[in-house]
Amino acid sequence: MPYQAPVREYQFIFDQIVPLAPVVANECFSEATQDLTDAVLNECGKMCEEVMAPLQRPGDMHPAKLENGVVRTSPGFADGYAAIAEGGWVGISALPTHGGMGLPLALNTAMHDMMCGACISLNLCPLLSQGQIEALEHHATEELQNLYLPKLISGEWTGTMNLTEPQAGSDVGALTSKAELQADGTYKISGQKIFITWGEHDVAENICHLVLARLPDGKSGPKGISLFLVPKFIPNADGSLGVRNDLRCVSLEHKLGIHGSPTAVMEFSGATGWLVGQEHNGMACMFTMMNNARLAVGMQGVGVAEGAYQHALAYAMDRKQGRAMIADGTGAIIDHADVRRMLAQMKSEIFAARAIGVACAVAIDMTKATGDADWRARAALLTPITKSFGSDTGVAVADLGVQIHGGMGFVEETAAAQYLRDVRITPIYEGTNGIQAMDLVARKMMDGGAAAFALMDEMVTLASASSSKLAVAVLASIVELRSTTEWLLTQELNDRFAGAVAYQKAFARVLGGYFHLVAAMSGKGKRVRMATIYINSLLPEYMALCAQARSGAGDLYALELDDFAA
């Protein structure tokens, strides 16, 4: 079965689960009427199905290659990227001032979901450009904005994010890249960066790198880091390309998956760069793009999960094997109870993760539209949950997709394994899911749990409007989540960290149950049936997860180093 973009699913979510109407009611998003939203979803879906999905397998089988200092991308990727750029998709949420559409991030979120279901390797290119656009909109000088943003928004140029170094992974403050101020106000940037997604390629004429580096007077650690814009070709004042800058791709990583996405090791050898934001404030500038990138990575997981599910469903409806214990079945393996269990789990998990992601995007949109502190807190709270649950769902669903294929899933010819290989990076991208969990129980609880409790109160209000067994189960889960949150707030930080991943998963489980309940309350039969599967079979995991979240760090640190020996 060819990939089908989940357009109708998003129309349902925007209408009844996480309404887009409150976002559109604000002046800055007033153009995002239902007619426009439907048109955007349909056009994006069409491009994903017709242009991007056919590139999924070629990108895996014919990876990007570095040849004589030039990166050659996978067959068809240049044309695929051109379609993305020409369709205006890079600038869907960028400010109209420099050519963007100015549409809500919620629509951008739907776009990334659909693009990743079609071809995650190609989607990564515009995703990084969008992050750079956002950072420049917030922090760059007017001169830099006027020169770079129109080209980035149009897709003529692409953007990257350069954080990681060989000795500095998640501990970005340990970087050693250097920046030196020049007489003309530019800076010379020197150092090596690794894991740079789409750091070098042949699909656009210029590549603009956002690079973290330290000035000579910069303090050690993250507070002494500055952010610089370092283009591959230094543009002239009119936007035309000038001389080649002193940077190069020295190698491409050989990866488990996303083979069509060139992941570069970049060497900067006194390359010319321009300061973005204030000196020594680079991490704050970079986080402007990283926070929304975390939402996008969560939706990458959801998108790949959708692709894996559709692939597995098609196989299950076609594969004849064994005899199911039901009358008048299809004769295919979808008749078997265990296969049906796996498919139902996949579909219900995707809906839960997708709804959580949209809720996060809407909170970010409402923050932008209103400046309201409560919306800001809601967005901050949902960001780590969205990133972790979306990416974990991608891995779990893709893994089940392989299982449904049986032995055929373990061979590359069926392409089931590609989804699992591709999506496995998402729990690592943009801060590992363990780091997300630590952020949730620490920084996001600095308000005494106010944002978390406010969200729980809203959930209780809606769930209490129903007397169904599903609502009773959801209410019980919220009560336990609240109790666990209250317990966490009384603990030392390391005891919180020990149970942080479990707490994060419990929160997502409860949110998923809540959104499924909302869907069931719409009265649509298929929504009720899928909500019943999730709430009866998957939601009960919250009890074990909450117990694990309360376990503390004592048992972990009672272990001696010899206990870990092989």
Question: What is the per-residue DSSP string for 441-505?
Answer: HTGGGTTTTHHHHHHHHHHHHHHTT--SHHHHHHHHHHHHHHHHHHHHTTS-HHHHHHTHHHHHH
**Is 204 in contact with 132 (CB distance < 8 Å)?**
no
Which residues, other chains included, contact 208 with Cβ-Cβ below 8 Å and sequence gap of 6+?
132, 148, 152, 157, 158, 159, 160, 229, 230, 231, 232
Alpha carbons 162 and 175: distance in angstroms, whole number: 11
Which residue, among 56, 18, 20, has the nearest Cα to 35 in the 3D structure? 20
Give the Å distances, CA to CA, from 205 to 66, 194, 270, 328.
Answer: 17, 22, 22, 59
The two three-digit tokens of residue 88, written as one number: 């205006």
Q: Is 430 considered catalytic here?
A: yes
CA angle 435, 440, 443 (to 5 degrees): 95
Alpha carbons 131 and 127: distance in angstroms, whole number: 7
Alpha carbons 285 and 305: distance in angstroms, whole number: 31
Give the Å distances, CA to CA, from 168 to 47, 160, 279, 431.
Answer: 38, 18, 21, 13
3-state SS, residue 552: coil
**Residue with token string 């800001």:** 376
**Is 486 in contact with 449 (CB distance < 8 Å)?**
yes
Which residue, among 447, 556, 425, 434, has the nearest Cα to 502 in the 3D structure? 434
Alpha carbons within 13 A on the beta-carbon side of 186: 13
Amino acid at 462: L
Alpha carbons 363 and 369: distance in angstroms, whole number: 10
Catalytic residue among 49, 200, 306, 430: 430
Greatest Cα pair distance in the chain: 83
Residues noted as catalytic: 430
